[in-house]
Every structure is written in structure tokens, then in C-alpha cells.
Amino acid sequence: MTTTKRKSLSRYLIEEQRVHNNMPADLRLLIEIIARACKHISFSVSKGLLDDVLGNAGTDNVQGEAQKKLDVLTNELFLEANEWGGNLAAMASEEMEHIYEIPNRFPKGEYLLVYDPLDGSSNIDINVTVGTIFSVLKKPESSHNVSNQDFFQKGCQQVAAGYAIYGPQTQLVLTTGRGVHSFTLDTQLGSWIQTQEDMQIPETTAEFAINSSNYRYWEKPMQRYYDELIAGETGPLQKNYNMRWVAAMVAEVHRILNRGGIFMYPTDSRTPGRAGKLRLMYEANPMSMIVEQAGGAATDGITRILDIQPTSLHERVAVFMGSKQEVERVTSYHKEAQK
Ligand SMILES: O=P(O)(O)OC[C@H]1O[C@](O)(COP(=O)(O)O)[C@@H](O)[C@@H]1O
Ligand SMILES: [Mg+2]
Ligand SMILES: [Mg+2]
């Protein structure tokens, strides 16, 4: 099929608003602006060495991680693109310690945007896939001056979630609560064109993704599950598994959406008191909404991620997400160990 016969993102969003009554106009406009920001990031990322945007920025983010030049640049691109759109009250990002309230000189709206502008940033200097992850929340009606507290909503309250993946093609994967749909950036037209409808994660899988160099730091139930995975058909799972690790959550989740699998970043003892590596509000929550909307599951080993009450902007969470059967199995091992 040629792209001219396919649906653009704009048309998809208008149909969601007008035909399916699934979103108000201001949310539709917000998603259009987010998509435009992702398009801009895609072009910046693709320039790489040509624009001297690779390498370290020489600064650390609030979590003490060295920022790449592109972490800083993509954060600014996302801020600038979204602050004048008129649909937001405030934003929060991996790269900013505090929330960013829309300044009074811009029109304001009723939504809150939380994002990871560049996911998998250790991949950027070696020209491997990276992405952008975003989550949209409604500002509580009772709130007049935006505060951190307004952002502390459970993932099940997200009104939209998505990611852009900057790989061989740039794709935007989106859910507004009626399935998961993907749009590929047609770089000649400059438009997002729908290329997948209602993506579904197979319930069973024979593929897993985990950074197994951390094995010795894991808790017992995680080690048990991993031992069973690698024992393959000689162990209790009685089948052989394949392993993949891109080191970008966006890329792992995208693979799982397309062909199934389980992605894990468990708690480990490298940093005592820290629950895993991934951040709840701008990594785990949006990805969990997408995974559940595609028929998969997502837990922290015990609890459904979308039911966790956030208590700080940058809090971490252990993540097990993807094909339902495997997520249920590893979750049951954690629950057994807890008893
Ligand atoms: O360095 P590791 O242990 O392989 O961790 C990789 C994980 O870290 C992350 O890159 C964190 O994301 P950021 O690049 O946004 O900090 C995840 O995308 C990925 O799953
Ligand atoms: Mg990330
Ligand atoms: Mg990041």
C-alpha cells in the first residue's frame, strides 16, 4: 500500500475525537505537538557527528547520571515545543530536578506531561537505537497552583502514553486507552503515517531481555527465574529461550510489542534502597499502559505497576513487562518468596 492511501496521525486523532468520542480536542492538539517534538528530536538525533551533538555534556542529572549533549538538547526541544501549545499546566522530565510550570506568558491548559526525552542514551554515541517516552496526566481539578503532588497519580490514571523510537525508521507508538497503534515518520512527506493498528503482544514467548551482568546482585526469585530460563528444555520450563538486550527500554518494548517477549530490570543490591534502575513516572508507567493495552502485563515483581502510588518525581521501580504468561510466572516467584 502506498503512504497516500494510509491514515495520517492527524486523521487518526480526529477520528478518535469525533467518531469514537475517545478524547477531547485539547488532548488531540497536545498529542499533535508531542509528535512534532519527536519529529524534531528524530532529525537532531540523525545528524549525530555532522552537528557535533554526540558525547557528554559535562553535567550530571538529578540522579547523578552523566548527561549526554543530546539528553540536554532533546529535553530543551521537548520543553520548547510544548510550552506554548496551550494545553499544559506543567511538565516533568528525567533531565530536570523539579517540575516546569508553564510560564504566565504562555496560554495554559489542563494536562501534565511527564517524559524521558532520550531513552537509552548510552547508545547514542555508537549509532544504536534510542527513543523518547511520554506520559500524559490530567491536572487534578482541585489544584490551582501546580505542585509535585499533582503529578503523583497512579499509572492507571494516565490519559495517554507513548514513545518514539529512532531506529532504522522513526516510529511513534501511541495509546489513548483504545489499543496501541504505530505511526511511521515518512521523512519525505514530513508526516506520521499509521503503519500498525491494534498491536497485540502474544501471551506466550520464548524470548527474554535482561542485563544478566547484574546476576550476582539480584534477589533470589529473580535468580531462580533466570536459572530456569537458561536451563531451557533441560529445566522446569521445558523449552529453549532466546535472549536480546539493546540497553534501551524503548527498543526492548518495541520488539516485545512486535513479536512478544519479557523485559526485566529487577531490584538489585548495587545501590541499597533503590528499587531497580528504571523510573516509575516517565519510563515504567507509560510503557506499562502501552503493554497492558496490547494485551500484555507489567508488575514490579509483586504489584501491577499501574496501581503503584508515586511518592516522588524520580522514583525507581523494578520492572517485569511483556507476554502475560512469563510476567505472571516471575511475579508468582516473587510472591512465593515474600510469604
Ligand atoms: O545500562 P544497563 O544496565 O544496560 O541499563 C539499560 C537501561 O537503562 C536505560 O537506558 C535508562 O534510560 P536512560 O537512557 O533514559 O537513562 C533503559 O532504557 C535501559 O533499559
Ligand atoms: Mg530512559
Ligand atoms: Mg533518558
Cell of 126: 555508537
CB 215, CB 226: distance < 8 Å: yes
Position 134 scores a pLDDT of: 98
Q: 302 in helix, strand or coil?
A: coil
Ligand 2 centre to CA of 119 (Å) is 4
Q: 272 to each of 183, 267, 276, 307, how far by Cα in Å?
A: 40, 9, 10, 24
Nearest 10 degrees: Cα torsion 277, 282, 285, 289: -130
Q: Is 95 known to sit in a ligand binding site?
A: no
Q: For residue 303, with 0-12 CB atoms within 10 Å meaning exposed, 13-18 middle and 19 or more buried, which class applies?
A: middle
Q: Which residues of 210-228 are buried (b: 16+ CB within 10 A; e: fewer)?
A: beeeeeeebbebbebbbeb
Q: Cβ neighbours of residue 82 under 8 Å, at least 6 residues apart?
A: 30, 33, 34, 37, 88, 91, 113
C-alpha–C-alpha distance, residues 279 and 337, integer Å:
24
Query: What are the pLDDT tens digits along the chain (339 aa)?
Result: 455 578 999 999 999 999 999 999 999 999 999 999 999 999 999 988 777 778 887 888 877 777 878 888 889 999 999 998 889 999 999 999 999 999 999 999 999 999 999 999 889 889 999 999 999 999 998 877 899 999 999 999 999 999 999 999 999 999 999 999 999 999 999 999 999 999 999 999 999 999 999 999 999 999 999 999 999 999 999 999 999 999 999 999 999 999 999 999 999 999 888 889 999 999 999 999 999 999 999 999 999 999 999 999 999 999 999 999 999 999 999 999 998
Residue nearest (by alpha carbon) to ligand 1 atom 4 = 247
Position 116 scores a pLDDT of: 96
pTM: 0.95
C-alpha–C-alpha distance, residues 337 and 334, integer Å:
5
C-alpha–C-alpha distance, residues 245 and 144, integer Å:
44
Position 143 scores a pLDDT of: 72
If we measure between CA atoms, which residue out of 179, 201, 255, 189 comes closest to residue 6? Answer: 189
Q: 58 in helix, strand or coil?
A: strand
Q: 30 to each of 9, 49, 77, 85, how far by Cα in Å?
A: 13, 31, 15, 7
CB 43, CB 36: distance < 8 Å: no
Residue nearest (by alpha carbon) to ligand 1 atom 1 = 247
Mutate to test the pocket of ligand 1, among 70, 135, 277 (most ligand atoms within 8 A of CB): 277
Q: Cβ neighbours of residue 125 under 8 Å, at least 6 residues apart?
A: 54, 55, 68
User: What is residue 268's DSSP assignment?
Assistant: B
Residue type, 164: A
Residue with grid cell 533503590, as numbered in its chain: 274
Q: 91 in helix, strand or coil?
A: strand
C-alpha–C-alpha distance, residues 16 and 115, integer Å:
23
Residue nearest (by alpha carbon) to ligand 1 atom 20 = 249
Position 1 scores a pLDDT of: 47
Mutate to test the pocket of ligand 1, among 74, 122, 264 (most ligand atoms within 8 A of CB): 122
Q: For the domain 207-338, what is the CATH code?
A: 3.40.190.80
CB 135, CB 281: distance < 8 Å: yes
Residue with grid cell 538538547, as numbered in its chain: 73
Position 68 scores a pLDDT of: 78
What is the biggest distance separating any 2 CA atoms in the chain, rounded to whole angstroms? 65
C-alpha–C-alpha distance, residues 208 and 75, integer Å:
31
Identify the CATH homologous superfamily for domain 3-196.
Fructose-1,6-Bisphosphatase, subunit A, domain 1 (3.30.540.10)
Question: What residues does 172 pair with on adjacent strands?
Answer: 164, 183
Q: Residue ranges per domain, the chain? A: 3-196, 207-338
Position 73 scores a pLDDT of: 86
Q: Is 122 known to sit in a ligand binding site?
A: yes
